[in-house]
Amino acid sequence: MLHRLDHLPEGFLTTSARDLYRILPGPTLIELPGERPAPLFVSILLHGNEDVGLKAIQRVLARFRERPLPRALALFVGNVEAARFGLRRLDGQPDFNRIWPGHEDETEGPEHGMAAQVVEIMRARGPFASIDLHNNTGRNPHYACVNVLERPHLHLAALFGRIVVYFLRPRGVQSMAFAPFCPAVTVECGRVGETRGEEHAADFVEAALRLDHFPEHPVPAHDIDLFHTVATVKIPPEVSFTFGEGEVDLCLPEDLERLNFTEVPAGTVLGRVCRGAGLPLSVVDEAGCDATCRFFRREGDEILFARPVMPSMLTLDERVIRQDCLGYLMERYLLPDG
């Protein structure tokens, strides 16, 4: 399932995500030489509707069209098929950012084997660092995510920006698979189509390509705002929902995304139960345990936050909510070096 190239295919620098299928037959690992041999691994289009990675890489490679890259680049282009239709993933496909070694899927398909193959190829290459580029589905600031609280990972994240999120769930993400053998981050670069996100991602990749080493000293506390993702919020498949008013089980506000990266106090209203009993939400903590009643409570028909928390990635995209989740809950976290 994995295709490998040692050169850029003709037209790569000008082809849109929707048209990549014309020049790439599927998931492809493209390995390009550079002045430093240890490659920077960059993954793009793990979600087919998030094209910031492609546009950022096109910008970077255009800058070095007439000169060698400062470091070798290993570029993994993920869900080309879903990108053709502008979708996160196609029906029947697994999420390409949940298939990596360490995943929790009950069955393994060819996509899981492909991801494992990429990991083994790159482990043998000894990469300098790993970057996974994404867009947000909701209104969020740009931020980096790490799965390991070690200095090189935090320095790489801080190179992108001061907001850093530490998470251990969901499992099976690309950055978590690479973290045991190189500094690895996932970066969230705003909404699809925002030029600022594309420029930020391109500048970050170029800075990482130029970097010679990671500092040995701790990341200064004033350079980073660190948060810990403590839970994932889902809407069960049997629960109908809408934004605004409707004849459904759960009504959520049309401006739900305003809560992202806002520290909300206990008692803040998340939504309203329109019919049915109990809480029409499912919350899982980072240990995989049910935590619904730790984070939400019901008063009358209102769903309230049961404790202070900071939501992230809350989205109005109903397809993404069904395929993945409504959003995440975070708390502030102290840097491991104090």
Of residues 150, 140, 158, the one with CA closest to residue 222: 158
- CA 55 vs. chain centroid, Å, equals 16
Q: For residue 40, give every residue at least 6 positions away whose Cβ sits within 8 Å of its Cβ, in sequence order, or none.
A: 71, 72, 73, 74, 127, 128, 129, 130, 131, 205, 208, 209
Q: Are 187 and 57 in contact (CB under 8 A)?
A: no
Q: What is the pLDDT of residue 338?
A: 52
Predicted local confidence at residue 32, as pLDDT:
98
* Spans of all domains in the chain: 3-223, 230-330
pLDDT by residue, tens only, the chain of 338 residues: 999 999 999 999 999 999 999 999 999 999 999 999 999 999 999 999 999 999 999 999 999 998 999 999 999 999 999 999 999 999 999 999 999 999 988 889 999 999 999 999 999 999 999 999 999 988 899 999 999 999 999 999 999 999 999 999 999 999 999 999 999 999 999 999 999 999 999 999 999 999 999 999 999 888 999 999 999 999 999 999 999 999 999 999 999 999 999 999 999 999 999 988 889 999 999 999 999 999 999 999 999 999 999 999 999 999 999 999 999 999 999 887 65
At the topology level, CATH places domain 3-223 in Aminopeptidase (3.40.630)
pLDDT of res. 137: 81
Three-class SS string for the chain?
CCEEECCCCCCHHHCCHHHHHHCCCCCEEEEECEEEEEEEEEEECCCCCCCHHHHHHHHHHHHCCCCCEEEEEEEEECCHHHHHCCCCCCCCCCCCCCCCCCCCCCCCCHHHHHHHHHHHHHHHHCCCEEEEEECCCCCCCCEEEECCCCHHHHHHHHHHCCEEEECCCCCCCHHHHHCCCCCEEEEECCCCCCHHHHHHHHHHHHHHHHCCCCCCCCCCHHHCEEEEEEEEEECCCCCCEEECCCCCCEEECCCHHHHCCCCECCCCEEEEECCCCCCCCEEEECCCCECHHHHEEEECCEEEECCCEEEECCCCCHHHHHHCCCEEEEEECCCCCC
Q: What is the total residue count of the chain?
A: 338
Report the distance separating Cα 239 and Cα 288, nearest Å: 21
Question: How far apart are the C-alpha atoms of 18 and 84, rounded to whole Å?
Answer: 4
- What crossing angle do the helices spanning 195-210 and 52-63 adopt, rounded to 10°? 50
Cα 119-212-141 angle, rounded to 5 deg: 70
Predicted pLDDT of residue 277: 81
Per-residue model confidence (pLDDT) at position 106: 82
The Cα–Cα gap between 323 and 333 comes to 29
User: Among 79, 77, 74, which Cα is nearest to 110's?
Assistant: 79
Q: Write down the pTM of the prediction.
A: 0.94
